[in-house]
Structure 1
Amino acid sequence: MSESIIYLDNAATSWPKPPSVQEAMETCMREAAANPGRGSHRMAVQASRVLFEGRKQLAKLFRIANPNDIAFTLNTTHSLNTALQGWLKPGDHVITTALEHNSIRRPLEALRRKIGIQITYAESNSLGVLDAGAIEREIRPNTTLIAVTHSSNLLGTITPVGEIGQIARRRGVKLLVDAAQSAGVLDIDVEAMGIDMLAFPGHKGLMGPQGTGGLYLHPDLELEPLMHGGTGSASESPEQPSTRPDRYEAGTPNTVGIAGLTEGVKFVLDQTPAQIHRRELELTRKLMEGLSEINGVTLLGPGIHTERTAIVSYLLDNVDPAAVAFQLDRQYGIAVRAGFHCTPLGHQTIGTTDTGAVRASPGYFTTESDIVSLIDATRELVLAHGKSHRL
C-alpha cells in the first residue's frame, strides 16, 4: 500500500523519510540503546552522545547558542504544555491568535479553568492573515506571554513572528512560538526573532520519526517542570534538578527516535530550509493553480502568490470533505486529510465551521506528477458528484 500511495498529508507527518533516518535508528538500536546519563558503561555513554549530537544539530538549525537549552519531548503538544503550564501563573494574561491549533488552545483553556489565567484571541482577517499590530493592541499590564503559531496548519499563512518578537521584547512580554508547520521549512533564528520558547516536532519538517520533538528555552527563563522523576543526575535530592536539560527531561528518553531525528535535521541543514521551502512552494502554487481552474472547487485562505507553507485547503461544492478524502484514498490512492484539523478557531475565522475542509499538504519528496494526479482526481470527483446531483 505505502509503495503505491500518493502521500499529500505532510502537514500531519512527513513521509517518506530520508534513508539515513531509518539507518541511524537501526544503528542506535544495535549499538546505543541503553539509558543515557544513567550509567558509565560504554552503551550508556554512547546513548548520551546520541542525545547531545541531536541537540547540537538542532542548535545549529535554530541558531541557539547553548544546545543544553533544548529539552527533548514527545512532540509539539508535549512542548507547548511544558511551556504553558510551566510559565503561566494565576491572574496572568496571555495573548494568542484565532488561528491556533488545539495544542495551544486546549492547554490555555484548561489553565483558565484551573488557575484563572486570562486569554485574548487576536483576530486575523477573513483569509487568515494576521497583522502584528493586532497582537500589540491586546497587551495589558498583566500580560506575561504571547503564544502564536508560526504557520497555520489549516491555511499555510505565515505569522510575522519577527515583528511580534520585537513587540514582545519592547513591552517586556515573553514569546512562545509553535513551529509545528515551520521547523525545517522556514528560517528560524531564535535570538534575531525574539523567541523565548520554541516548540517544535521531529516528525514533520525535520524529517524525523513520530514521538520526537523539543522545546527551546531562553537561558534567562525558568519553568516549573511538567513532569518530575528520574533524570540520572542529582539522584540524592527529592527535588527535580535545576540543571538543563535534565530539569525538563524526566524519565528515559526516546534515544532511538532522537538518533533518527538527528539525521533528519542533518538532511534539512544540507538541503537548507530555504531550498526546501522553495521546492514545496512551487508544488503548492502548481496545486492551487490547477484546483482554481476547476468549477465547483473553492480554495480557502490567501491567494496563490501569497508567501505560505505547503498547505492547500479547499472545498468541493455540495460534497462532504470526508467523502472527498475517502474517495481520493480508495479510488485514486491519494492521501489527504479532511475535517477540522484540530483548529476550530481557524475554521471560525474563514467561515467553514459547518463543513471543515479537505487539506492537501505537499512535502519535499512530492513530485509534480503527484500534484497533477490530485488535480485530475479532483476534477473527476467534481464531475461525478455533479452527475449524481442531476439524476
Structure 2
Amino acid sequence: MSSQDHETQPIIYLDHAATSFPKPPEVSQALLDALEQASANPGRGSHRMAVQASRELFQCRKTLSKLLDVHNPVDIAFTANTTVALNMAIQGYLEAGDHVISTMTEHNSVRRPLEALKRSIGIEVTYIAVDAQGEINLAEVNQAFTPRTRLLVCNHSSNLLGSILPIAELSSIAHDHGAKILVDIAQSAGHIPVYLSQWKIDMAAFPGHKGLLGPQGTGGLYIAPDMDLNPWIYGGTGSQSEEINQPNVRPDRYEAGTPNTPGIAGLQAGARYVLERSVTKIAEEEQILTQMMIKKLLNIQGVHVLGPEIGKERTGIVSFIMEHKDSAEIAFRLDREFGIAVRAGMHCTPLAHIAAGTLATGAVRASVGYRSTADDIDQLIEAIQYIDRT
C-alpha cells in the first residue's frame, strides 16, 4: 500500500480509551456556534456575547451534573483535561506528612503527582496490589489505613485492563477511617453509569474528550460541597476583583483565567448526546462488543487477553499480547495495512503492567466506543489472524 493510499483509506477507530472519534455532529456545530456567537469572556462583562458565554458554561455544568449525579452544578470546576484535574485535587488537598493510599492500576496522572509530593513535602504513599484481572482485595485496602491517611486515590476503570473497581465500597472504607476519596473516572464517564453523590465521592476527575464525546482540551474536577482545596492557579475570575485573595465562591475559586468557552460548548453538546442516548444503553452495547472481541481474540492461538476473564464486567478496553510478536509492530501494521487505529505500549500505567506481567512487552489496546460496530471487531480479528500468519 502506498503512503497516499494509507492516508486516504477509511479508518476503523478502536482507540476510544484515548479519545472518542468521530464526535457527534452536534459537537462540531456547538463549537462553531460558540466561536461565532459567544466569543467573549464569561463573567467578565454584561454585554450580550459575554452573557451568552456565561450561559454556555452553566448549561454544560448542568448537563454534566445530571450525567454524573452531582447535586449542585457549581461543584464542577472546568479544567483542560483529567491530568490537570487530578493535579488540582492532589496538590490542592495533601499536606506534608500525609499518608495516601492508591492502587497499582493508576495512570501516571495519579502516580507522578503523588511521587512528586513524596519527594517535595514528604507524603507517604501505599499502592495496593491488584491481581492480573485488576481485582482488588478490600480487606487489604482497609488494613492499609493509618492515623495519618487523609486520601484514597483510585480509578473507576483501568485504562489497561478495563477492570472496574468497587467505588461505592472503597468510598465507604475511606470515610470509615476519616479520609477522603478522589476517583479518576477518565475511562468510565460516558461509558458506564457514574453516581458521584450516591457513592459519596469527595472529588472526581474526568475528561471531556473520551466517553463524554467532547473536544480535546476539556475536562473537569468535581469537588464535594464540604471539600475545600487550595487553588492550584491564582488569577482573574471576574468576581471579587477588589480582594487580594482568590475568591471562596464556586466555581470561581478553581477557575482563574479565561476558559475554553468553545470547547466547553462542544463538551455540553457531547454530554447532552450521551445523556439523551442513555449511558446505560451505551454501556450495554459496548459490553456486547467487548465480550465479542475477547471471545474471538482468544480463539487465535498465541493471543493472551489482559484483564477480567471473559464474561466478567469491564469497560470497553481489551488489551492483549501475541506470542513472538512485538506490540508496537502489531499496532503499526494494523494502521498501515488495515486502517485500524489501536494503541500499543505502556499506556502510562507501568504498575498495571507489572500486575499483568507485561512490563517487558507492553500490550496492544483496542477500545470500543459509542459508534463501534460488530463489523469493526470482525475486521480487527481478521487483521490479527493475518498478522499472526505473517
TM-score by length of 1: 0.97
1:266-305 to structure 2, matched below 5 A, reads: 266-305=272-311
Within the candidate set 232, 235, 238, 1:232 is matched to 238
Q: Does the C-alpha gap of structure 1 residues 220 and 286 become closer, same or farther in structure 2, counting only changes over 3 Å?
A: same
Amino acid at match of 2:295: E
Structure 2 counterpart of 1:362: 368
> 3-state DSSP class of the match of 1:137?
helix
Q: How far apart, in 1, do the equivalents of 2:18 and 2:140 lie?
A: 28
Structure 2 counterpart of 1:137: 143
Cα deviations by residue, 1:150-187 (Å, 9 ceiling, x for unpaired): 00000100010011111122221100000000011121
Cα deviations by residue, 1:171-205 (Å, 9 ceiling, x for unpaired): 21100000000011121111211200010000000
Cα deviations by residue, 1:260-282 (Å, 9 ceiling, x for unpaired): 00011111111111111111111
The Cα shift of 1:134 comes to 2.5
Structure 1 counterpart of 2:4: none
- For the 8 Å contact 2:327–2:344, the answer to whether it is kept is yes
Amino acid at match of 2:81: N
> 3-state DSSP class of the match of 2:144?
coil
Structure 2 counterpart of 1:182: 188
User: Do structure 1's residue 318 and structure 2's residue 314 form an aligned pair?
Assistant: no
Within the candidate set 199, 206, 221, 1:215 is matched to 221
Within the candidate set 251, 259, 263, 1:257 is matched to 263
Amino acid at match of 2:210: K
Structure 2 counterpart of 1:12: 18
- For the 8 Å contact 2:218–2:263, the answer to whether it is kept is yes
Within the candidate set 317, 334, 339, 1:333 is matched to 339
1:1-391 to structure 2, matched below 5 A, reads: 1=7, 4-384=10-390
Q: How far apart, in 2, do the equivalents of 1:310 and 1:47 lie?
A: 35
Q: How far apart, in 2, do the equivalents of 1:2 and 1:230 lie?
A: 45
How many residue pairs match? The answer is 384
Q: How far apart, in 2, do the equivalents of 1:305 and 1:189 lie?
A: 24
Which segment is superposed worse, 1-10 or 262-271?
Answer: 1-10
How many percent of aligned residue pairs carry the same amino acid?
Answer: 55
> 3-state DSSP class of the match of 2:132?
coil
- For the 8 Å contact 2:71–2:197, the answer to whether it is kept is no
> 3-state DSSP class of the match of 1:230?
coil
Which segment is superposed worse, 228-237 or 330-339?
Answer: 228-237
- For the 8 Å contact 2:23–2:214, the answer to whether it is kept is yes
Cα deviations by residue, 1:86-114 (Å, 9 ceiling, x for unpaired): 00000000000010000000000000001
The Cα shift of 1:334 comes to 0.3
Amino acid at match of 2:44: R
Cα deviations by residue, 1:273-332 (Å, 9 ceiling, x for unpaired): 111111111111111111100112111122111100000011111111000000000000
Q: How far apart, in 2, do the equivalents of 1:160 and 1:290 lie?
A: 28
Which segment is superposed worse, 10-19 or 58-67?
Answer: 58-67
- For the 8 Å contact 2:132–2:306, the answer to whether it is kept is no
- For the 8 Å contact 1:102–1:343, the answer to whether it is kept is yes
Q: How far apart, in 2, do the equivalents of 1:264 and 1:120 lie?
A: 37
Structure 1 counterpart of 2:3: none
> 3-state DSSP class of the match of 1:103?
helix
- For the 8 Å contact 1:168–1:194, the answer to whether it is kept is no
Structure 2 counterpart of 1:387: none
The Cα shift of 1:3 comes to 6.8
- For the 8 Å contact 2:235–2:257, the answer to whether it is kept is yes
> 3-state DSSP class of the match of 1:30?
helix
Q: Which runs of 5+ in 2 are unaligned?
A: 1-6
Q: Which runs of 5+ in 1 are unaligned?
A: 385-391
- For the 8 Å contact 2:53–2:261, the answer to whether it is kept is yes
Spell out structure 1 runs of 4+ moving beyond 2 A: 131-134
Q: How far apart, in 1, do the equivalents of 2:68 and 2:334 lie?
A: 37
